[in-house]
Amino acid sequence: MKCSFIWLGTLTAVLAAVSGVHAAVASLSDGKTFAGWIGDTNTTWRIVEGAFVGGTLTGRIPQNQFLHTTRSYTNFILRLQFKLVGTGGFINGGVQVRSQPVKNPANEMCGYQCDMGDGYWGALYDESRRNKILAKPTDDAVKQALKPKDWNRYEIRCEGKRIRIFLNGAAMTNYTEPDDQIPQFGLIGVQIHGGGPAEASYKDVTIEELP
């Protein structure tokens, strides 16, 4: 019976993969605690009305800060709402996918970033690795989709070596990684960029894992 159970479980997994069945959508935040996330929750990150909020509007932000998951993911659809506001200086944030913490400096993450901020909305940036924009939408596409200083929605699809970004349902970026040495798995994170004064808020973070 034990062997039959294992075989049936394996068969079910194989059939699910072949048929393209997706896992159920899972929430990555309970809206009340930082369970499942790691970051500077003493001075940088707090929870306000169910959202992760990083930064401050009362002073400059000395350096980049990230809040990231404790679990790694490979192929998935990540959905979340975000809002970015500021009163001066460089106002920027972003969503990390397939990323890892950096040891030096310890506040950084390395990996793909779905960027946020003027000139960067909907762009895919390679944070602390190649340090450049890998793909970005047209200014017109951003203008039509973005709701400035309000809640917006990112849908980020990571499938194999392909990453696609959607802003409020509109396609922004479609990138396929040409470098076989770049890992296609890692942590998910959110960022408030050094500069400001600024606040980056993130809520309703869900993930749908793919085969």
Per-residue pLDDT of the chain (211 residues; tens, 9 = 90+): 333 333 333 333 444 444 456 679 999 999 999 999 999 999 999 999 999 999 999 999 999 999 999 999 999 999 999 999 999 999 999 999 999 999 999 999 999 999 999 999 999 999 999 999 999 999 999 999 999 999 999 999 999 999 999 999 999 999 999 999 999 999 999 999 999 999 999 999 999 999 9
- pTM for the structure as a whole: 0.90
Closest CA to 96 of 137, 147, 54: 54
**How far lies 130's CA from each of 14, 54, 70, 127, in Å?**
37, 25, 24, 7
The full length of the chain comes to 211
Closest CA to 153 of 99, 82, 56: 82
For residue 191, the tally of other CB atoms under 10 A from its CB is 28
Closest CA to 89 of 53, 118, 126, 131: 118
Query: What does the alpha-carbon distance between residue 200 and residue 202 come to, in Å, rounded to a whole number?
Result: 7
Query: Under 8 Å CB-to-CB from 107, ≥6 apart: which residues?
Result: 40, 63, 64, 65, 66
Count CA atoms closer than 13 A to 87's CA, side-chain side: 8
Q: Name the pairing type of β-strands 133-135 and 152-159.
A: unpaired
127 and 120 in contact (C-beta within 8 Å)? no
Structure tokens, 13 = 């997994």
In DSSP terms, 202 is beta-bridged to 52, 82
